[in-house]
Each structure stands twice: as structure tokens, then as C-alpha cells.
Chain A
Amino acid sequence: MSTDAPHEVRPAADTAAGRAPRKADDAGQPAHKGGLRRKGLSERNRPLWMLIPGGALMIIIIVVPLLLGIYMSVLNLDQYTLRKWISAPLIGAENFVEAVTDSPLLHAVWLSVSYSLLAMVVTLPLGIAAAVATQNAFKGRAVIRSVFLIPYVLPSFVVATVWRTMLQPGGIVDEALATVGIHVGLWLNGPQTFWTLVLVQIWASWPFIYLLALSGLQSVDHEVHEASALDGALWWNKLRYVIFPYLKGPLSLAFLIGMLHHINNFTLPFVLFGVPAPADVEVLPILTYVTSFQSFRFGLSAAMAFISLVLIAIPLFVYLRAVKLDDAETPGAKK
């Protein structure tokens, strides 16, 4: 948005790669210095009315349901009051109190966050390694790159169904492990389910990191490689101090989107474990679903959803401020 705060934190590589950001600065500067006359088209007469269709859609699709959800959360809305839901009894904060004190909500939040973080911590190096490995041209690279994307393009439902079949007691995974003398026990019930969920999530989501890392790598200017080669940087130093700073932007974005996606992932645990889910994988979306559509406590479940929204929004906000993803000037995100 603003064009005047790009210079505070500049990774070392930026001085080498500074040309492109400069250009952006040049384009931006007249707006500041040129006064009203030259601001003209770009700011004063911006045709904001053109945002109306999009804005209206945003209101209908996002704002209205959100407000309704919040309204529902203060109603005693269940199967008995659903039909005339507008006149369902108003019970204030009762749903919130029940959600926090008398439901597995906090446990679910803990499960969701820890599982998402674990999956993320493993997929990050995996994705980066895969991106780096396929950066330089070699024979068959196109094929490998396409193969890497398979888990990403498969629908979640298919991924979960296939894994569920493989992980059944006496299924193909158990048999394969048994041939080397490992007996793991149940994958789809009991305490191990948590790790099953993490495992399948890793399998399904590392290509996303890979994709964004790859896009980051491709934005590294050719001169940067040349310059670091001239300076005699070996591969690790080059990777660590020259290339990785370029990846910071895309990978921060990947981390953020990935975390949100994992926390909100309903299909994977639902298809893998079914409902009622084993207590160790009763993650947020499953809990909200069961409360809404098995117990018919729509009000309570709206309260749960709202609490989890707030819980997610706080770190999200802090994080967004910290990494300034909205700043077009960070390296890697610049183009």
C-alpha cells in the first residue's frame, strides 16, 4: 500500500538485488513529491465505485454470514427452536460460557493448533528441499515437478479415503510394516490417530510449500547467482545467505495460509476417522460440526466457531503486522 517504508529491514542479499525494488520506488515517488496535480488519476479520482459489485458480493458472502453467526451464538438455537429461529430465545453469553467451561472446545483448539504446527514444521523443510532439488534443469525435471504436485491436486476427500483404506487394521500399511517386524497398532482409533492425522496432512500439503518455495526461487535474479559465484560463495553459504532471504516472503505466506488451512481442515479428519471422532483427533472443525449437525446445538456451535475465529485472528493479526505481508516491498514478494 504505502510506498515509503521499505527500507527498515533489508536482508544482505537485497543490496545485491536492489535494482528491482528501486524501480518500484521510482514509480512510487512522484505520487509523494508531485503534489495534487500529478497525484491525479492514481489517487484523487480513483474510480472507487468500480469496487461496488465486488464489495457487495463480499458483504453477502462474508460479512452477512459472519454477523449472522455472531447473532446465532447468543441464541438458544437448537432443533426445538430452529423453525422460528429469528425468535429463538436470546441467552447472551451462555453459549460462550458453556463452550469454554463445559465442552471440549479448548482441548480441540489445542489439538488443532498443535497438529497444524507439527505438520507445518515438517512440511517446510520438505517443500524447500524439493524446490531446491528441482531448481536446476536436468533431464526429466518436468516429470518430477508434475509428480510432486500430485498430492496437491488430489481432492482432500480422495486423499483421506485412500489413506483410510491403507491404514485399516490389517491393511496394506500394517502388512508392509509387519514384513520388517514393526507392529504399530491402530492408526484410525486411539492415541495414535493424532499422528496419523499429522502424517496424512504432511503428505497432502507439502507440495503447497514446494510450490511457493519454487516461485520464490524463480524470482531470484540471474545476476544474484553470478554475483555470489564471483564472490566465491559455496553452496551452503549461497543458500543460507543469498537464496533463503528471497524465500522469506513466499514462505511466510505459505506458513500463514498453510496453518489456517490445517486448522480449518474438516474433510481430512472427517473422512479418515468419521464421527464421533476418537477423542485424540476431535479437532475444531469436527467439534463444531458434531455440535451443529449431530447434537443440533446451532447456537453453541456458532459460539464455538466465533471463539475459534478470535483465537486464530489474534496471532494472525500480530503475525501479519510482524512480517508485513501487505508490504509489496519485501524481497521475494516484490513482483
Chain B
Amino acid sequence: MRFKSTTGLAAIVTAAALALTGCGSGSGNGGGSTSSDGKVDGTGKTLNVLVGVLSQYPEQQKQWQSDIAAKFKAETGADVKFETFASANDELTRIQTSVVSGQGPDVYGLGTTFTPTAYATKAFVTLSDDDWKKVGGKDRFNPAALGISGPDKDHQAGIPFVSRPFVMAYNKDLLAAAGIDKPATSWDELAAQAKKMTNGDTYGIATGYKDNFDPWKFIWAMSVQAGNPLVDGNKLKMDDPTVKKAYQTYFGWLTNDKVVDPAAVGWSNSNAVAAFASGKAGYLMMTTSSSIPTLDKSAIAGKYEYTLMPTIAPGETKSKSDGDAASILSGDNLVVADYSKQKDLAFAYIKLITSKEEQLNYQKTFGDLPANGDALKELAGNAKLKPITDAAAKSKATPFTGAWGDIQLGLLNVTVQSVPDLAAGKVDEAALDSRIKDAQNKGQASLDRASKG
């Protein structure tokens, strides 16, 4: 089988799906009888939940899961069976198989940027007002977190679970030594400050150009802050000058400003975290609260702080976006499968884990911010978390279209193909133009399909 045709690749998913289709058709509603007081009785039933594995906290995650399962059992009488996926690819495969076969987990945890693609498959429940009531009411959630739950207010499938906004970390000692009294709020200022801190093997900025996600987030942020939301109706605006400017700024840190370690052309985000943790970088870009455990065990424990990333686009003096776009709207959403035969039970589970209490509990263990509004308010008082809760409130959703996966890939691909130029110290403008044009064409084609779809 190892030497079989490449067709196998495309066909295996389908084959697996076909095998399952037979028994998976037909859909039902309900699941557990709902008594007059709104309690769902799920005695004897099992709810299947698929979530991402938290590789940093394997023990804690197991513990959390068994605690929640016990609480859910006490409340509804039903069991919860957790399954985990290790990577985004893993998750995709699971979702595709389930979507085609019409069976699989009842509840999925999805990354926010994947939600539009999942929504496009129409395989997940778009919540009615009634459904929202079953998960505890729409108003229990941080309004910003609902930004990427659906294409508009009336069609939302994603129920926010946690927020993981992006911020930057800075080394207090290095900033002070360079005579900088407060971290930059514009990208221009950031480059200027970084220059002051760059000296010998110490660099102003730590970031990874070979990361699989970071590059497009920078380009998205700088473009949005310059007033270009990238997707405008059915038009992709990657050929806009703001996008080119964003790439030039992002690449320029390495080629012109020389404030990034040249080795960063081969770095992923974790290499950048390591460089920052060794005290050799002033700023660590595009990080989340999940870097806390690493940094607190490092040489710079106690010497770093988080703050919002710059919100003023390169060459500008104020943000041109509505809202500051300090970060992409990042975190996890929960969706309920359309084929699930126990939707009420699924909603009851979501209601439980998005309650204020459970959300605070989750934050304490894993660091992710609550999507529950009250829980978030309670944390705002915590000075250490303040910049991160700020970022959560100032996060902006990436465009809600099924084509986003392609657009994101195109944005990233421009960086991937530019890395050799970066390493050589100069990104040729004509080459950059043609790469952007290529991404624009592919992305636009994808958007065209989305509008038909």
C-alpha cells in the first residue's frame, strides 16, 4: 500500500466516509427530555466532545475533563466522552470525515479562524434564539468574542469558549537600558525603539519568519489598522498598497532596520520565545498568555511584561480601523454538529462550561481568558492580566468567509517564498509585487467560489 497511487490520498477520506455513510444518514433533534424547569435529563446517554489537546498541560487537562464530566453527570445524568486532536490537520480530518458521514462528535472545539470554514460546510447548528437560551443566553458572553461566531448577528454557529488574544511581551531591563520609558504604540515607534536596543547579539525584536501562522497575522493587523479589512464584500484587497507596505515593514525589521536576529528566517514562534526568554531580545511579538509558563521559568522571570501590540499602521499617526485591531479575534469556539441526535444535551454541556464559575476555573488552570462576560470583568482587576484582557476587548475578527483559509494561505505563502530574499538581506520589490499579485488572484478566485457557495 505504501507505493500505491497518489489517488489514494484524496480517496482515503472518501473511502472512510463511504463506509460510514450507510449508517449515518438521517438526523434527529432533541436528545434527552427537557423538563419544565429547563433541566435536561440525559440519563443513560453519552455526549461526545472533540477538543484540542493542550500539550502544555496534559495532566491538568485530564483532570479538568474528569471534573467536568462528573459535574455534568450530576446535572443531567449523562456521561461525557472526550476525544482530543493533536494538530489542526488532525482536527480537519476528523471534521471532514464527520461532515461527510453525518456522524461523529456532538460538540467540537474550533479555533476562531477555522470557524468560517466550518460554518461554510453547513454541518453545524446555527443557533436560534431558543438555542441561545439553552446555552445560558447570548448576553452572558463577552460581545467582542461573538465577532467570529457567524456571518451576521442572526446567523451564529460558534459559541465562544475562551479568548487567547495576541499581545507582545517586552523586557523591562532592556527597554530601561535603552532609555525607553514606555512600550511602542505604533509600528514606526516600535522599529525606532528596537533599533535603540539592538546591540551585538541583542536584538530589538524577536519574531519567527518561518512560523506557520504569525506572518499573516502581522500583515492582517497592519492592513486593518491602515483601514483595509482585506475582504470587502466579494472583493479581496490584497493588491492594496497598505498590504505591500505591511510586508515591507515586516520584512524591513530584518533587512533594513536590522533589529531581528538574521537566524529568525528559520524560526518558528517557539524559537522566538526562546530567544526572548534568554534575555537577548527587547520585544517578543505575537505571543499569548500561554508563553507565561515558559517565561516564568526563564532567565527573565519577573523582568518582562505584556502589552498591546502597536495599533497604528506603519507610516500613520492614528489607527484608521473602527476599533483598534490590537489582535486577531483569537481563541476557541464551540459548535454543535447538525447531525447530533442529542443537541439539547450538547447545549446543556456548553451552558455548564461557559458559566462564570467554570470559566474562571479554566482560566486559573490553563491561562486562557474567559469568553463569559462576567468572568472577564472579574479578571480585569488583575494587573498582570490587564493588557491581555484589554487585547481581548480590542480584538477584531478576521473576515467571515469560507475563503479565509485560502486567503490566509496566500498571505503566508508570500512570506514563505520571500524567505530566501530575506536571508540574502534584500526583498526585491518586483518579486514581492508578483507574489502579492499571485496571492490576490488565488484568494479572489476562492472568494468568487465562496459567493457562489
Contacts and interface: CB of A to CB of B under 8 A. Distances in A.
B121 interface: yes
A196 interface: no
A81 B99 CA distance: 10
Contacts of A28: none
Contacts of B4: 62, 264
Contacts of B122: 80, 83
A313 B405 CA distance: 33
Contacts of B17: 85
Contact of B99 (A82, A188, A190): A82
B402 to A, nearest CB: 5
A220 B449 CA distance: 62
B8 A170 contact: no
Most buried by A among B4, B10, B120, B412: B10
B423 A169 contact: yes
Interface stretch (B143-151, B317-325, B413-421): B413-421
Interface in B414-432: 416-417, 419-420, 423-424
B96 interface: yes
Contacts of B266: 168-171, 186, 188-189
B121 A295 contact: no
A261 B121 contact: no
B6 A284 contact: yes
A83 B453 CA distance: 12
Interface in B428-453: 446, 449-450, 452-453
Q: Chain A binding site: helix, strand, loop or mixed by DSSP?
A: helix
A308 B452 CA distance: 29
Most buried by A among B17, B99, B266, B449: B266
Most buried by A among B3, B6, B18, B413: B6
Interface string B73-92: 00000000000000001001
B14 A264 contact: no
Most buried by A among B11, B122, B449, B453: B11
Q: Chain B binding site: helix, strand, loop or mixed by DSSP?
A: helix
Contacts, number: 153
A193 to B, nearest CB: 9
B423 A190 contact: yes
A276 B413 contact: yes
Size category of the A interface is 35 or more
A298 interface: yes
Interface string B3-32: 111111111111101100000000000000
B442 to A, nearest CB: 8
B414 to A, nearest CB: 10
Interface string A273-313: 01111110000110011101111101001100110110011
B99 A302 contact: no
A82 B416 contact: no
Contacts of B419: 186, 189-190, 278
Interface of A: 61-62, 64-66, 68-70, 72, 78-83, 85, 168-171, 185-186, 188-191, 257, 260-261, 263-264, 266, 274-279, 284-285, 288-290, 292-296, 298, 301-302, 305-306, 308-309, 312-313
